[in-house]
Chains A and B, each alone.
Chain A
């Protein structure tokens, strides 16, 4: 071997080892940056998650991120109010200035810190509830608010779209000890649907396995926090159909303005198109039609299999027992524009369904109230979402309830 060959071999070997060492150092460095990001991505002046900071545009906020938002926002001595639920409570059709949770904050005053972690189509058990639970030791004086339809029992561990937050918190050790819930979540994973030809389908298994594995890896490497930090603060890396144009998609997400419009500016004919009337009425009827049967005298009679076997069992163990009493369930009413088309009989059935739901949630250890039945037509943007005026009314109803709960939970001096 000549000197030149020896030199070349040494150089090759050094280059190779340097590349490998670089890979290892780079990987560990990114993990450390991810850990750091988990405590720093606080979304300055956070009002709510927008379509640019939610799964609709392939952005998946982590539980650490939500915890950072709260820590950045809350002042010492404040009672934490976490808003969860779906697009109604996220404030669709309300501009950032009109969002109902902002009005709630104004009405509650300085003694409370309201954060809105609602996402479109999310359930009571989704991201916001997980964030609240993860913060329950750090901020024990807390109230969790979420909404639901009257006969809707949430999936334990969250809905399929937002389930990652539960597993994120689970593997980072942020959830309270709740063996009954864990069993319920596991039962959901292994839900089996046998078909007549003999084959069996596990509708939730494959997806959850990947989610669990991802969350477990993330609990070591913090890659989700790392990439969220990069996408939010520095440059976006993932294209989504709901993003600004192709030319702007690499902009940091913090630069993209909250796009929700002012619903009151949209004409009533667009908000309540005649073509969808029958469909929307069917949706409203669906809230109560399977919950009651008519008896021989023509009186509505409660359909127990739904309320006892599905609803009551469904809401059992969705949260650790200690957190149920601090939870306020809002049963979202439907637009009076539509309910006036129902028959008197149907309107009555709708009313008792809501009353029954409130009663059942309360029996389950939660607090609950309905809203919307007495709202005006213009308070609704469509069948369920509220305009700025509806948002004001809702915050006006919820604020005293929150104060009452805070009193009952012992957060305030007697």
Chain B
């Protein structure tokens, strides 16, 4: 009995910081998922299943985010829900701005003050940060952290899903009236931490279908996806992370001299390992999320579709982090004008969209440059055939040799991962070494 009470107490205590960083790999999560899934299956009536699932999601969110991490999401969620009910276009715009500001406040305040304002005047950033820490001590991150304020768990995903919701309501979609539906759309536990980024128009019908019936197919597919996800994440990606840490060094501090000491084949081999690591890490996490949802009979959007089989940059972005790239397309690129105002504007819109896509991954310049790198690649890929003289023959050549297109695309993508993982100067040095240029 004492043991049972001890575990019960444990279930309602916030997780330690180390746990929150590896949610699906924690024993707490394994037990939680088993209890939540079994409970969902045993409750046959949809009227009982949805409240039960909502309670489970609240327990999950509370455990990993803690009260301080939940509070901003609750406030943002309630505001978004109420604004949606009004269907007012102006209110929806205000709600979208609020979500974006909340995201900037939590995730980009440090970057904006030190890196952006710092470009204008070096003393402004530290002064603003010191003032903010003084005025908002409970929200402030410890000194030396990458963030000025502690970002709530899954903040980027919440912000993007709320923006999507309000944007669609503003465009005329029917808002979610049932608070239970909105709660589950907001904090559905399988996708809360690392997506995929949901669309409520697809999610709610799938949620209702799952609440009505979970078939053996769902369970079998769910387990298969979860097993595949854990295999990718724990066996492949985590081992690669440790190995790369030894052979190249950490993200912030790659050992360029050590990399230079390797032969050319080893350097390229390590680049391939970097590319495989990010794929297996992220797609493994997505597989687990999709599989967990499927155990409840709920289908989440796919996030990866063999991205390293892509034969062009456009093709790559239709296969890599699909829920994010389609979000960026629908809520940044198209609203900016998309391809409706000529080639120059199209390229500019693409660059802005990709810069934001890069920034979404992390608040640092290397992410912005990685986004711009892909934006530029996409612009070249989409327009190179129009180049006088060389464009058409090159296009025909690549059409005739699809393996060449694939190779060029993957070369571009893999080199891009250096920008994604390492500070700009180090990434440039590592890239140079791949082509025999010693720093």
Contacts and interface: CB of A to CB of B under 8 A. Distances in A.
Given A19-B224, A197-B137, A246-B247, A210 B30 contact: no
Contact of A210 (B19, B138, B245, B247): B19
Interface string B1-39: 001001100100101111100000011101100000000
B243 A209 contact: no
Contacts of A285: none
Contacts of A54: none
B375 to A, nearest CB: 35
Contacts of A23: 220, 223
A207 B18 contact: yes
Interface in A9-28: 12-13, 15-17, 19-20, 23
A205 B31 contact: no
A217 B29 CA distance: 12
B354 to A, nearest CB: 34
Contacts of B13: 205, 209
A249 B236 CA distance: 13
Interface string A169-208: 0000000000000000000000000000101000001110
A277 interface: no
B27 A17 contact: no
B223 A213 contact: no
A16 B19 contact: no
Interface residues of A, number: 27
A210 B26 contact: yes
B220 A16 contact: yes
B32 to A, nearest CB: 10
Q: Name which of A16, A209, A237 has the most chain B CB atoms within 10 A of its CB.
A: A209
Contacts of A20: 216, 219-220, 223
A212 interface: yes
A109 B242 CA distance: 44
Task: Provide the main secondary structure of the chain B interface.
Answer: helix
B26 A239 contact: no
Interface string A198-242: 010000011101101110110000000000000000000111110
Contacts of A238: 238-239
A237 B242 contact: no
B246 interface: yes
Contacts of B16: 205-207, 209-210
Contacts of B17: 206
Contacts of B242: 239-241
B219 A213 contact: no
Q: How large is the interface on B (under 10, 10 to 19, 20 to 34, 35 or more residues)?
A: 20 to 34
A216 B30 CA distance: 12
A199 B215 CA distance: 47
Contacts of B240: 239
Interface in A316-366: none
Contacts of A13: 216
B309 interface: no
Interface string B226-246: 000000000100111011011
B48 to A, nearest CB: 24
Contacts of A197: 137-138
Contacts of B18: 206-207
B217 interface: yes
A209 B28 contact: yes
Nearest to A198: B138
Contacts of B6: 212
Interface string A17-61: 101100100000000000000000000000000000000000000
Interface of B: 3, 6-7, 10, 13, 15-19, 26-28, 30-31, 137-138, 215-217, 219-220, 223-224, 235, 238-240, 242-243, 245-247
Given A17-B216, A209-B13, A217-B27, 15 more contacts: A12-B217, A19-B223, A20-B223, A23-B220, A199-B138, A205-B16, A209-B16, A210-B27, A212-B6, A213-B27, A213-B31, A237-B239, A241-B245, A249-B239, A249-B243
30 contacts: A13-B216, A15-B220, A16-B216, A16-B219, A16-B220, A17-B216, A19-B220, A19-B224, A20-B216, A20-B220, A23-B220, A23-B223, A197-B138, A206-B16, A206-B18, A207-B16, A209-B28, A210-B16, A210-B19, A210-B26, A212-B6, A216-B3, A216-B7, A217-B27, A239-B238, A239-B242, A239-B243, A240-B242, A241-B242, A249-B239
Interface of A: 12-13, 15-17, 19-20, 23, 197, 199, 205-207, 209-210, 212-214, 216-217, 237-241, 246, 249
